[in-house]
Structure formats: C-alpha cells, structure tokens
Structure 1
Amino acid sequence: MTVDTAVESPSLPHPGRTPASMIERMTLILDTFDGPAPMRTLVEVAERTGLPRSSVHRIIDQMIRLRWLAHAPGGYRLGTRALELGGLAIEHNEIRDVMGPLLHELCRRTGMVAHLGVLDGPEVLVIDKAVGRGADFLPTRLGGRLPAHCTAVGKALLATLSPGVVELAFPARLPRRTPQTIGSRAALHRELDLVRGHRGVAIDRAESLADVVCVAVPIRAGGHGGIAALSLSGRVGGENRPAASELARILVEAADEAVCAVNTALRRR
C-alpha cells in the first residue's frame, strides 16, 4: 500500500455550491447530527444542509437501509453503523500499540515495508509503518491518505463491507493514478468479489504507484468487520522477495495472530 503525501483529503462543498457526489451529500447529512440534539426532522436536515427536501428524503431512506441512520420519534437519529465506526476511532491508538511489534517482525522476515491502515470513508489512512534494513524507499508517512480503490489495504478493507456501502461511497468512474488503477465502480465490485474469495487477501498491482506492488489482509477483531489491515509493499522486481502467494500466507498468519492480540487488548478496556 502506498501513499502520496501530496494527496489531500476531499473537502466539503463550498457555501453556495450544491454538492455533486453522493458521498458529499451523505457527509453533509451526517454532520447535521452534531451537538446535543440526538434527533433531527426531515425539515431540519434539509435546512441545515441546503439540499432539496426531496433529495434529503431519498438519501436518508438509503442511509437507513444501510444503518447509517435510523428512525426516531418525529424524525431520525444516527444508526448503529455510525455509532460502531465512532467506537472504532477510539480503538485506533490501541490497535497501533498492539500491532507495532508485529509490523517490525514482518519487515524482518520479508525485507519489505509494512503498513497498518484503516478505512476512513473512501480513503485509506496509514496509522503505522515499519521499514526493515535494506527495504525499498516508499513515499509513505503516518497520517498519509490515498483513495482506497487503488491500494491493497483499501481493497482488503472494502471487501469486508457490504456491496451497498461501496455503491454509495464511490462514483461510477474512479480516478486513475497509473494505467493499472481500477477505473470504475463496477470493476471495483468485481475486484472485491475476488478478494472475498481469497480469504480477504488483496493485491495492489502497481495501481497506486507505477513501480510498487503490495499485498494486504484485513484484521477482523472486536466484533467488527475489518478494523484495520496489514500490508507488505516493495518495488517491482525487487531481489530476494517472497512470491505473492508466500506474502499472502505470511500476512494471513500475522492477521490471525493480530486478532488474538487486539481482542485481548480491547477486553481490558
């Protein structure tokens, strides 16, 4: 998984501009459920977002079906999916503490760069990185982000979500970073089906940077889907590098070990 530090997070719409994408509209609607009021009416959501009431009603119906929102007496409230993900944000630091030694062990065994990443909307956020002696230089950093559809970590985590969530989170056409980048939502769905059929193992085939390949697997712990993902990255044609199948085996074993460690840490909270 690679991250271009020059990539910025997508900003919310400027005042006076109608947001074009579904993810922008969903974000605006979720942002109305801030402050002490746990419930909002349809009229309140429309007024606070500036979106047409008919559009708000249609989007809310979809968000209720996907558990981002739920019905409340006289209006709507945050759904269980939003509350679950909010709880996961608190867990990120604990996950990083638990996973640090495992990342360094992966570097030692493979001579590659190891990353620990989480999904933040349609992006991947790097929460830890380890570089072994002699490993390739990669332009990645803690806190770096990249669109999830073109990284192994992103695809490993997206494959743990329902297709309906992916459908809402991504536009029909996806931005390309290299000639190998997945360019459409339909192709992304097909790729995620393949990932699900291979124990969650995802591969970045020079899709993020033209000369970098990566293998990743999700970590399923704490009663959630994929709370984070482990990856190993290196330059194309690197010497003495394990084959992709061997990297997948190493990562699956590491993820199984990580589940036990993370679940133990979460139970101590």
Structure 2
Amino acid sequence: MSPAERDSDAPVAGGLERAAAILGAFDATHRDLTLAALVARSGLPRSTAHRTADRMIRLGWLDKPKDRYRIGNRLFEIASLAPIRLQLREAVLPFLQDLHSATKVTVQLGVLDGAQILVVEKITGHRPMPMLSQVGGIVPAHCSALGRAILAYSDTETIDAVLAAGLERRTPRTLTDPVAVLRELTAIPPRGWAVEREEGNIGVSCVAAPVFGPLGEVVAALSVTGPSGLIRSQTIGPAVRLAAAAASRAYCSRR
C-alpha cells in the first residue's frame, strides 16, 4: 500500500473509532446523555465528541431530542439484520413464549460474548424484574445460568478464557473459585440444565439449558428467571431442557 493510500485510510479509521467511542458511551443505564456526559463516557475531546455526534445524527445513528443524545432508529434497523436476530432469535422466540406462558416468570435468550453473556431476547410479562439486564445488556458468564449452560458444552479454551477474565463476586453467594465453577459445569450435562441461585442478584434464581447448532455446537442458552421462592430447579429444569431441545431443532432447520 502506498503512503497516499495509507493517508487516505487514516481519517476513515479514525472516524470509525470515534463513532465507536460515542456508541460505547451508551448502555442500559445510560440511554440518554448530555454532551458533557457523552464527553466523559467516551473519553473524546469535547469538540471531537460534538462534531462526531452531529455527523452521526445526520446518518441516523444518533438522535437528539432537546439537549440529550440517544441511539438513533437507523442503528435499530441495521441491528435487526444481524444473523443472531434473524436466525437464532426468530427460531427460539416461539419456545420462549411457550416457556413464559407455562412458568409466568421472566424468560431470556443469551449468547456468549467473550466472558459475558449478551441478552438477545427477554420476555417479562406482568412480572418485571428491573434488576435483570435488558435486551442488548450483558451479564457475567461464570455466575449466570445462561453462561453456565453454554460453558458446560464449550471447549476448554473458551472455559479457560472466562476463568482467566476474573470471577467477579456479585453477591455473597457467587462462586469465585475456579475449581468450584468447573465442578458446577461438570454437573450440568448429566441433568441437562444449569442452575444459579442468587449469585447475580439476591432473591433471584435462574435455570437455563443450552441451544445447539446443526453441527452439535452450543450456540446459545435460554432460561427461566424469577424470585428464588418460585424457581425450583427440579420442577422447572425439565421444562427448560425440553424447550431448549425444541428450539435447537427449530434453529437447525433454518440453517
């Protein structure tokens, strides 16, 4: 590549990195940001953040009602084209709906993203649980039933990467010893579902089961989450496992 070509590429790369920093400033608890907050959370100089954000508004990537920035509708349209939404979510959604109808508590679909679980879909019905991550949010893989259901069927390299990332203690019940986490993962395949009791949030428990792809690889997990008094794994576990198995067949038929 010639120096001229490298120079022509540099502004594009810089622009993309600035846009990524702007988008990264938003999360589930920071959905609307003032310019000052956008500067603080993106780490960009004020003039750069303002200029980049204005350009993103023109592209539809951001919106700015009054004095606050928020994610624009164009990004929602683009995100809806992602395979994880078109294929996985659409295949699994009917079974999430069935599971929610049967249990009357929150159901979720998640995929592994590094050492975190990305929540792809969630149904709460009339029993909302605000302490849980929203769609697009993340939760630690090591102390979530979704994460454990996936890790139990993952290769050693994937498991080691999650353990090496650090086992954050979310509550007094969180397993933070790698040996204890591995022991928990080993217990999952024989019964077909993972259990997490108050390791992410006190008073909240979860049961999850894996969703598999056409080659037998684990691609996601679905879960039932609710007040600990209502989540009895021996009762709910078989239903979650059956729903995940049906979802796996539906997902494979679309591939």
Runs of 4+ in 1 over 4 A off after TM superposition: 4-7
Q: Is the 1:171–1:185 contact (alpha carbons within 8 Å) kept by the matching residues of 2?
A: no
| CA RMSD between the two structures | 2.3
| CA offset digits 1:57-80 (Å, max 9, x no partner) | xxxxxxxxxxxxxxxxxxxxxxxx
1:106 equivalent among 99, 108, 117: 99
1:208 equivalent among 176, 200, 205: 200
Task: Determine if the alignment matches structure 1 residue 149 to structure 2 residue 142.
Answer: yes
In structure 1, what is the equivalent of residue 209 of structure 2? 217
Rounded to whole Å, the distance in 2 between the matches of 1:215 and 1:136 is 17
Alignment of 1:133-212 (within 5 A): 133=126, 135-139=127-131, 140-171=133-164, 174-199=167-192, 201-212=193-204
Rounded to whole Å, the distance in 2 between the matches of 1:178 and 1:172 is 18
Q: State the TM-score, normalizing by the size of structure 2.
A: 0.64
In structure 1, what is the equivalent of residue 222 of structure 2? 230
Q: Is the 1:203–1:216 contact (alpha carbons within 8 Å) kept by the matching residues of 2?
A: yes
**Which of the pair has the greater relative contact order for Cα pairs under 8 Å at 6+ separation?**
1
Q: Is the 2:145–2:194 contact (alpha carbons within 8 Å) kept by the matching residues of 1?
A: yes
Relative to its length, the structure with more helix (as a share) is 2
**Structure 1 stretches of 5 or more lacking a match?**
8-88
Rounded to whole Å, the distance in 2 between the matches of 1:114 and 1:144 is 14
1:251 equivalent among 237, 240, 244: 240
Distance apart, 1:155 and its partner CA: 0.5
In structure 2, what is the equivalent of residue 76 of structure 1? none
Rounded to whole Å, the distance in 2 between the matches of 1:265 and 1:179 is 42
Cα gap change, 1:198 to 1:94, in 2 (>3 Å) = same
Distance apart, 1:5 and its partner CA: 4.3
SS of aligned partner of 1:218: strand
Distance apart, 1:205 and its partner CA: 0.7
Rounded to whole Å, the distance in 2 between the matches of 1:5 and 1:152 is 21
Rounded to whole Å, the distance in 2 between the matches of 1:264 and 1:98 is 9
Distance apart, 1:99 and its partner CA: 1.5
Distance apart, 1:6 and its partner CA: 5.2
Rounded to whole Å, the distance in 2 between the matches of 1:262 and 1:173 is 32
Rounded to whole Å, the distance in 1 between the matches of 2:92 and 2:157 is 30
Q: Report the number of matched residues.
A: 178
SS of aligned partner of 1:197: helix
In structure 1, what is the equivalent of residue 88 of structure 2? 95
Please identify the structure whose Cα radius of gyration is greater.
Answer: 2
**Structure 2 stretches of 5 or more lacking a match?**
1-26, 31-81
One-letter amino acid matched to 1:225 = E
